[in-house]
Structure 1
């Protein structure tokens, strides 16, 4: 079993706060405000009209749906995560974690529990064409950035008809999105502009049965199951399942080493919100087919997807199926 901590050597590109903001708003005048609505997880905020889930004129097809998910122990098990094409894992305040599930080929009946957005989500989502971002709110200082970002924000305030509270757990861990009330049909594979390539496994790599990634107050273990042909997910030492009892089991897991630095934001307890830099370049470990491959990653700008290459410089193919990307600190 391999264990990855929050500290690891690797290449990274640190940018100034001004450059990051410029990258997020690089498209110039954007097509209107998103109307994110709500400043906290309890949904407080001014009422705004529900945004359209269609792309701007001239683009083909609907956008991807990204849902920001709670990952506290009280929020588990998750609903609808197994239907996502990509699941991103990031560190948040207090060394804990949250997930972002991205849907392009399937829309489940329900997804959740839904929680609040973070500044680094805006950079991560720039790789998609005006994605729909479903989240429960954000702190007030972040709302202007969300309003100017090239995405469609969907919160309980802006679009109350697409959310519901569950009765099986307490708030704030019980907010669920009904994607089909929002989008109708999934946008399709073409909308999934992540830069990932799928195909036969490359040469090399080494056998691996389990890999653990640790944050200061959270950990993820991915254990290879030969019978399932998938990596079984455990969170904080407990098998991760859906609300239907099915094990979360991606086909490919990427441990991507990035710069995780303090942001200009803090939570209500005064804890700094980490900013995960997802544009730049660095190292990664790719898990597929019971083997681990050392790889490089590159995302030259926020508007582009992320490409992965083997140690020999060849494009890294992923196994077909769900992909988990776990961001680990390269510092």
Structure 2
């Protein structure tokens, strides 16, 4: 067991994303092979993409230069991917790391892209008041990354309508209120990140229904863990409870984690844990699965390095 003090590895997340992309889009191409389609692009989707670009505030006028009203082949535009078979736009990737941060509102024309499976609008500064309707209507989405793109509001209940979703990142958005229990309906979800928000209340037990979940990140908010629901997440490999203020108030969550057969990485940094708390547990609770390779207990209030003795 190796105790790590570093933050979540960006490289690991990138590898996870690439693997997910290959699984979701084995037939993906940046261009459409069917010459019968209008210039390699379905016209109403091309128009929707142009409206979407027009609604964004571009600090750099050279940004998204391939998204041009004079170009009819929208499947070859930067950040766009279409199906080889149907020609529909299935991938829209306008992440701020690649293009620079966008501002303004996301035009409702996004809802015209009903065949989208992959949507990445992370690291921008959107001010939408229709957040809920925009994303809840894209029922074919498998991948949704909105990390650090919205400032405040509540996590929309309508996201539960995305029944095919496998990857959901809503981290670092200053979302308020509680976690919607409806997220427990996303039965195909493998990755969920709600960290670095202003979420409060007890984590809904319905998250225990996410039986396909492999990574769960809920750190750096004001949540109460509870814990019984964790025992159902038997495929979980990565769990992050860093920065949660109330971990000392219960032993249940640690009892449940100790039973998870595939857990590999557990982050509990900056959570106010102490020697007294850990030593108050039965030694059997510290017999984690042999699969655990990384345990991050950094920035807690331990007075001894021999907390497991």
Higher Rg: 2
Relative to its length, the structure with more strand (as a share) is 1
Relative to its length, the structure with more helix (as a share) is 2
- Of structures 1 and 2, the one with the larger relative CO (CA 8 A, separation 6+) is 1
Which range, TM-score by smaller chain? under 0.3
Structure 1 length normalisation: TM-score?
Answer: 0.25
Structure 2 length normalisation: TM-score?
Answer: 0.26
